[in-house]
Structure 1
Amino acid sequence: MSESWFEQIPNGTIVTPQGFQAGGLHCGLKKTECNDLGVIVCEVPAAAAAVYTTNLFQAAPLQVTRQSLSNGTLRAVVVNSGNANACTGQQGEQDAYTMRAETARQLGIAEEDVAVASTGVIGELLKMDCVTSGITRLPAAIGGEPEHAEQFCQAILTTDLVKKEIGVAVQVNGRQVHIAGAAKGSGMIHPNMATMLAFMTTDAVISAENLQQLLRTTTDQTFNMITVDGDTSTNDMLVAMASGLAGHEELTPEHPDWEAFAAGFRQVCEYLAKSIAKDGEGATKLVEVIVNGALNDLSARAIAKTVIGSSLVKSAMFGADANWGRVIAAVGRAGEPLNVNTVDIRLGDIVVLTDSRPVPFDEEKALQYLQGDTVQIVVDLHYGEGQALAWGCDLTYDYVRINAAYRT
């Protein structure tokens, strides 16, 4: 991916692309006074696409959003935090449809133009009096300024410590096109089709079909390559909306600027994915696994995700322990073909294994490196041309503390 194809926009937000506004407020779902209800609105019908969790227990909002997206367009997405509205039966489904209907009424748009997303505790019914009251106040909270994007970002957080947002610009037919994103996610993170909650906006001219294909491909390379704890949520959803207000020739894979747009699109996804991994519950560092020389890219991805998801590897990273044995054991159990005699492993630039045999290294230097806030594990299999990147975090005492008392 060439960085010359795009530039990151300083202080870029979900409302940077033309045609988008956002907002957020506190409606009473959270015990604190933090925002817990937000909305993104497009002034025109936007081409839209989405990917969802593959967990069989899918929350009610996903069913509603699927129905809204059946025609490939959206005008808005309404989001609540503090309650997942998952495993809540017929009442939960009805509540999700009520959220959609009330949002549409307040914005003066069709119900089918509204997507719904929820995040929080599973198995509890929404306090719909709080939700509907909050939705009636949303129009007054909506705007196109950075502070409105900030309020939206705060509204989608649960155990997150920081907001996650980015904007980039690319050139299409000589015109500047914006791509932006915002996401939440800190625990129950092991995407397998989508991730947590993430939202993307762009003013590019692109069909819903091409946006959907790009979203799926890019998700596999970014959001599907992160893990915090190996758990796939019931509510994971990634929604992308394109207003088309940049006014250039329609983007297709045959367009001369398609690669530039795809690179910018991937940059937004990768930045958000890495931000989620770095903000994993209790995490003290971002861990990046690079796999080279696998049979193919799919094989490399499987190996990289096995290493990044290993509790033993994650624990070693927390303890700054250069225990490469944890890494090679994960590589070996990934179920992918390899030559057990040709594996090299590095921790940063510190070589610890060559041709599957240990190499003497400076333990103190390794300790200092592993105590940093970003750690890179490089595995070279010398077996094929496959490559992959995966991101995660260390496993700490605080992860157990946070999740032992999540409901209380």
Structure 2
Amino acid sequence: MAITNPLSLVKLEAYDKIFSTTYEDKAIQSRGEFLQAFPLDTLGKLDLEDYVIGRQSPTFCTFVEARTRAWASINGSPAIKFGIYFGGIKGDKTKKHRFSKKFGVTEAVAYDAVKAALRELGQLASSPSIPFEAIDKNPLSQMLKAKILSLYFPDKFLNVCSANHLETLAQKLGIGDGLALSEIQHRLLDVKKGDATTKNWSNPKFMSFLYATYIDEPDTGGDEVVKPRRKTKRRVNFEEVQKLRSAIGEAAEQFALQWEKQRLLGAGLGHLISKIDDRRDRPSYGYDYLSHSAVGRERYVEVKAVGRLPGGDGHRFFLSDNEHVVSLSQDHALSYFFYLVFFDGKAKPERVVALPAAEMYDRSEIMPAAYVLRFDLAGPAD
């Protein structure tokens, strides 16, 4: 059903200028990682230990709540929203499987009911004509249903999960009164698609705009790069430069490549994963991987292993002159990204922050590190 688009062009253009593509890429990659771990055909078919939150391994519920938080946040509500979980409660810290009595009176019966509800949800959402009332009657909690729908069916349901937030947005945008929550979640996408500015925005970007404009709860997802607090005249240890490149450079590049594949999958561009071109052995290009931000729009990815400076002076990575020149060139400037790979205390890659080169330069301090001088001799060889 078509609706009159209420979005303000002034607000959209203003938000477009300040929106963080770093947050957007993080949100999309988290969806890709989730789909990679739990494809749609596994919904409602997992063993209990692969489903419940409270286990150390990255279970289904751990992904839905924590590892895809950038996509949509459902934190804050108790773990009982998952129907069954592993953990303690107030007054009884014993860790065991705990479940909502609406699903059954025993652990086994309850989880069978949860799995049945998950399977039903997937079937309802897959229907060409979406039965919104039936989705709302599904016994899974609202937050869980909405998050799952947005992850598996982003072309049908926007990544807004809270009942209060959905009702607020419906009222603010004039979507209609008395609608099923899942229908509001669906119609928010109609608003997005019906506006010339937002129709090509990603779901995380549009969701973030709605929250910042109408809910007043902007969420940038953290990992914001800012200028160092103080300038430094620190000496460059060239042996450290070489050591860093050889010891952890390969690990960073492989980790970033996997992250990029997950981002493409999360963006619905899985068919472009095979098109990623590894250009690390051709340094004249000035970047590591040729990928895509969208169909027909290339993305130049330069991977950087990030190190923490002693004394609280921030973080740093090393940049060649060729990489710097290419990143600023007319052909690359708008599509050149640094993929900053951060390591844990055991020198293991743990996360990627993707930042356009122009933003990186604006938020950092650049210092000379090293140059290669190439020359020949005029006289005869010895």
The structure whose RCO (Cα within 8 Å, separation 6+) is larger is 1
Give the alignment's TM-score, normalised by structure 2: 0.26
Which is helix-richer, 1 or 2? 2
Give the alignment's TM-score, normalised by structure 1: 0.25
Which is strand-richer, 1 or 2? 1
Rg bigger for which structure?
Answer: 2
